[in-house]
Structure formats: C-alpha cells, structure tokens
Structure 1
Amino acid sequence: MTDKSSSSELKVLVTLSRHGSRAPNAIAKRLCPANAANAQAYQVPPAQLTEKGMEQLRLAGNHIREEYVERQKFLSPSIAGPERLHFETYFRADSADRCGQSALSLGYGLYPDETGPKGFSKQPIAIYMQLIQNEHEFAATEGPCAAVAKADDLRYERSRAQDLLREKKALLDSVSALCGVDIPSIPSMAHGEDVITGIKDIADAFTFDAQAGLPPLPGLTSQIRAEMEQLAFTNLMERYYSTPEQVTYWVGGFGDLLLKNLNQATQPTPLDGTYKYYSYHGHRELLHGLGKLLGWDFQFEGLPVALNTSSLHPGTTMTFEVRERKRQFFVNTFVWSPQTSRDAVRLAKCSSIDCPLDEFNGIFKAQLDATGSYVDICSPKDVLATSVDDEAIEYDSILLTVAPFIALVVFVAMAVHSATRRTKRAVEYRVLP
C-alpha cells in the first residue's frame, strides 16, 4: 500500500480490539466433565484473560508503538505527550474484567518500561469502564436491548438452529460421548443454559485449550474440534446478525462514540490539547457487528466462516485513521492480529479505500435511516422480536399497564409502615414521669 504519511496528515487514531485468549466459562466444567483436567490447568479464574491473552494484547500495543510512535511519529513515546499538557491516549474497555485486562496489556506494549515519568519506570494508564447495566456503547444487549436480544435469540433457537442441530446430530452425538454430557439436554441440567450457548461454551473450551497449549480431550480429533468451532460460529453469526436491526443494536452506542472521535479531526484543537488516540476493548460480538454495519468482512485464513466473514483471532484489532489531504478528510481502515500482519481494508460500503469522512458518516446514517437507532429498536413495545417471522414474543401487557398502580400501592404501604414505626418509637422512648 502507498505510504499516506508523505501526502496526507494523520489527525486522529482509533482502534477496537477483541480481548485476548481466555479461560473457558465456569459452566464448561459441567458441560464437559471429561475435560476437567484441562479446566483445572488454567492459572486464572474462569472466563478471565490467560497469560497467552495478555501477551497477545501486549503485542498489539507493541505493534501500535512501532507503527505510530516509531514509524509515523504520530504519538509520543510517553502518554504524557511532548509538552505534558494532556494525555495523548484514551483507554476504554467493556465492563468484563478480561476486556479491562486487555486494555492494560496493550498499554504495556504501547508504553513499555522506562517510558513513565522519571523516577517511576512504569507508565500507569487510566482505563475507563462502566457498570454492565449502564453500558450502552459496548454491551447494549446486556442493558437497554436485553429483552429484544433475548426475544430474537429464542426465535433463532426454535427455527434455524433446529435445522443445524438436526444436520449436525452425528457431530453432537460424538462430542456428547467424549464430554460425558448429552448436549441436547443441556437446557434441562441444573443451572444449565440454552443449547446454542452450550455448544458455544464447549467449542470455546476446546479452542482455548488449544491456544493455551493444553492436550486435547481424549478422543477429540482436530476435525471434530474444527467442526464444533464452525457450528458455534455459524450459530453466533446467524443468531446475532441476520437482520439489519440486529446489527444496529449489537453495535449499540459504539457507532456514535466512533463517529464522535473520528469527526474530532474537523474541529479546532483545544488550547490544552486533546486525545490523539482512542483505544477501545470489547468482545468479538462488537467487532462482528461493526464489521457487518460497515461492510468490513474478516478474512482470516483457516478460521470458520459464516455470513461471508471469518471468525477472529484473540487480540484482533480494527484500526481507523482520519487523515487530511488538501483540506479533505478521509478514513483509512486496517486490521491486525497476533497471527497476521497489518492489512489495509477496503470497506464494501465505501467508494474508495481512502473513504471520505462524509461518506463514512453516511454509512451509519443509512443504517439508522433503515432500522432506527438502537434506542428506537429497544424501546418497550408490544412485540420484542426484530426478526421477521410468523410468530411474535409479547410483553406481559397487563404487567406494563398495572405497574404504575402497583408502585403507588407499594409507596402508600411503605409510608403507612414508616409512620407507624415513628409513632411506635415515640411511644417507646417517651420520657417517663
């Protein structure tokens, strides 16, 4: 690719990284008890970033340092910047611990030892995180869109997913025998989960074991593992991104955040400076949703493919550069992973690899014009599911109707109870004659 640095000026840098390799979810021990030895071999709690995952994100930070500190000279060697007026880099992570740890690990690579303030060789970085219930930018499906997402999940589970389960019965029978659990019966287990999520958790355990260098479950061949990974990925993509509305709410508020950062380049720089680099850290679902919205299909060789895109290596990083040339702003996009080099990406929904900033903004506008915003989609309605089907999952309309009355009754009861207690206390503590 032609070096843009000689003909244009880099104004703003944004990256979105998938967290690194992690330990399997806690439920994986019960879904595949025959794999208990591997489950116990991890040196971190369930679902948390492993030492492998930490190293993957450190490498991501090292890549960013090599590209933007050493080669392009866009960032300073230290987060404090050349004049120490304002931190140059802003880190924000999804509320999951592994995403916060991933951000910290990237910081270790971007700002290695001896780049901190003189007298303290480390460079501590601040990482902003929200409580999960307040997280609209990284996890709208866990907050305002939880009900809509659940309805769409249920619809998928009793339609397309059933076709896949029948098609892959021989595979699931084999894995059930290897694990010692009947996979179709996972929902009826004590503290179980839906079968689609169960398949994902088992497939993830096999994948993470391999990434951690652990021996495979006895009898688990590379072919069976690959078929399970493919089934789990097909389920993930079809379950979450089969409609434009689903793409919108899986991206959630992150689209607004991304555009705010990128369009910063068109505004005058404050006297005390501003952030030059925004480093974001989330789950694979956010990267895939953003990819579908932008027309950005991933093409990692050897990984499962569904809906015309491949799955992601842990630590995969999407990069957005805003550049200015002759007073015109454009966006360049790149992808990097610990297993691959940095590659330029041509967005299918943009007319040029140097995507004009206005056209990039227009991609999001066209999406929202077609679907409404995630807030519109996820506002309480009579029908929750966004998928088009012959059946709908309804709210309990009676509960919604009487909720204000119930609240009033509870309030009055509490007030009466409180007044009674005050009167009782007054009697109990009255001064004796």
Structure 2
Amino acid sequence: MSNAQQAPLKIAVAGLGTVGAGVLKLLDAQASLIEQRCGRRIEVVAVSARSKGKDRGVDLSKVQWFDDPVAMAAQSGADLVVELIGGSEGPARDTVATAIETGKHVVTANKALLAVHGTEIARKAESRGLTVAFEAAVAGGIPIIKGLREGLAANAVSEIHGILNGTCNYILTEMRTTGRDFADVLADAQALGYAEADPSFDIDGVDAAHKLAILASVAFGTPVDFPSVYIEGIRQVSAVDFDYADQLGFRIKLLGIARRTDAGVEQRVHPCMVPKTAPIASVDGVFNAVVAQADFADRVLFVGRGAGSGPTASAVVADLIDIARGRSTPTFGVPADRLGAATPSPMESRRGSYYVRLMVVDRPGVIADIAAAMRDQNVSMEQFLQRGRSPGEGVPVVLTTHDTDEAAMQRALATIAASDNVLEPPRMIRIEQF
C-alpha cells in the first residue's frame, strides 16, 4: 500500500485542558498540511476529560467521549493515545500503562510521569514494538528531544544546561528589570497566568528538575534518575542580589545542569549567576533555552517558548506526524535495555565559584572573622564588596570566591552563620562560567 493509500492514524486524546484543546485545534487547522507531510490523515476518534459540557472551542460531536481515560485507552479502537492529563501517578500513569498493554503507541507531554517512571515505561513499550514520544514534555515548542536524540545522535554529549521553567525565568527577569522583590513579581505572574495559584512546583525547582532528569537520560544514554537531582528554587533570591550581580557582570537564572564528571553524572537545579556575555544570559521572560555540549558538533543552543497552547501542541503533533510516517526511535535515544547505569555525582563534589551575601554588624574584626572561616576551609576570596558604613548596625557585605569544592563552601558558611555578628542566614548563589 502506498503512502497515499494508507489508513488514517487513529488517535485518542486524554485531557482537554489548554494543551489538549490546542492539539485538537492544530490538527483541524493544519489537516491538509499534516496529511501532505506524512502521507496519511491523523484522525481523532476519542477524547476524555473531566467535564463533557465545557466549551473548548472545538467540535467534539463526531468523536467518542469517555469519562474514564483508562477505559478510553483500552476500548477506543485508536492506534495511539495522547496523554495530556499530567502527574506522575493516578489516571495519567494508568492511561499510559493501559495504552501500552493494549498495543497502542503513546505521545505525552507529562514530564513528571517520565521523570519518575520513564525507564519502566520505555522498557514495556519497546518490548512490544511500540513508540513512546514526548517532545512536548521538555521545553514546550523547542525541539530539544529530537535535537539531542536524532540531530546529535553521532555525538557524545558531555553537558547540557538550560532555562527549563518559563515561570521562574519571567519572575527573575522582572525582578532584574523593575527592581521589585520576589513576592510582588510572583503575584503579578499569577495574575497574568504565568504562575499557578499554587506555584510551588515551578518556583521550588521541581518542574525544571523533572525536565532535567529526562534530558540527562537522552543526552547521556542513562536511565532516568530523578531522585539524584539536586533541587533548589528561587524563593531566596532578593532584589538586592540583582544589583550586586549587575555590578559583578552577571545575570541570575534558574538553571538545570547535567554534566559528566570524574565523580559521575551531575544533575542539579538551582539559581546561578552567569556572565552577561553567555548566550543564555540574554534569554528573558517566559522563554526557555537549552545548551548542549557535544564532541563533534561543539556547543548547540536551542531557544523558544517553553509553554503555552500553541508551542506545546506543536510539539505533540510533531510526534504524531513522526509516528504516522512510521518513524520509530528508542524512547531515550538508546534501547531501554541498553541504558547504561551511571554513578550520581553528589552536590558536595560540585567545584566552582560562589557569590555570598551577608548581613553583618558593622564593627572591627568582623571581616577578618569571615576571611578566617573561609581560610580554614581553604576557600579563597576573589572579590569583596561593602556598601557604606553604619557602626554598630547591620550592613550588607558581598563576596565572591575562586573555584572551590561545594562541601568546603558549605562548611565555611556554617561557621559564618553561627557568628553573633551575622544577623541573618548567608545567601549563596553558585557562579557558572559558561
């Protein structure tokens, strides 16, 4: 049978929120283009969501409705299930498992599910000759999964880092450009719809960590290892830190960083100071960016919108087109039974420079005590900044260090924090020299 005569790819969509409705709209608007590019139609035969009566801006009268997405995965007669429910457990996990058990391909945007259960899902799907595709799970409309898994397939990737959460990037950008503090900007982000009513997953770094765990698996050919990701959010970043960062030639970004080191595979999410000259420093607002360091292709930068109906739906449908064309790639770039276990590199072994902000009593000998605490841990200070004098009162002091070990830095900070001359917990941001 020629491509022109192939039967439609029948799909069932679980979850009709912003992305699910966007997928249906895109499939309808681009139907002719999609058929031209993959040689067959993509036909929606069933959908499932919590509320049947809600107006989603698309005609659902000709598709089968299921209240239960798991029943839809089992009974719809589809060739493929699109899972857009979200969450690592419950209906999302059960829907994907049922789809695979009943011989259906899966396309998902669910980073939490893949971060926690991705390796298991890949093994089950690949053992049945099925495809699990997830371009939309990481960085929205940016084709980073295909870029790593296919575009850089001939390369060994040694490092990947990026801005993986648009909410945090928006908040940090607004703090830098307006001088407002975190709580004020977060409230605005919620009013604009950039942050959820409960923003914890975003601002505490968990969302970015889910995505980083997936990227590290694809980049390094290792099982997904979310529990080994070090996670630190942006709640403690203050407006004053942006002033000092600007003086020191840095921008502040929440980054996900995965890197092969002599100690193993590093996976960490935390605020970073990066040089203003680094390409990633200029990526602002709700945009995402990912940088991959490859041995033959060298450094590759991907930038685009990391969320939203259009970009995310575009990524979902790109996966549908691949499957409609008959293209199949191992879920994480390497067959699941060949993913090579890697030793996690603990955060304590991270080596680099640091920015530290202290509020100390302005009296003789305080700075000498700070320097001694650093010296005792073999931490060398590079720069020291103090604004003004206020004898007997609190004054802010900022220092940066030369490269040192995280463990030594933490010991030095613990000593400093215990001093009666230090009025609040030290604030530390890691410096990354990209």
More helix by share: 1
More strand by share: 2
Bin for the TM-score computed over the shorter chain? under 0.3
TM-score for the superposition, normalised by structure 1:
0.28
Q: Which has the higher contact order (CA 8 A, sep 6+)?
A: 1
TM-score for the superposition, normalised by structure 2:
0.28
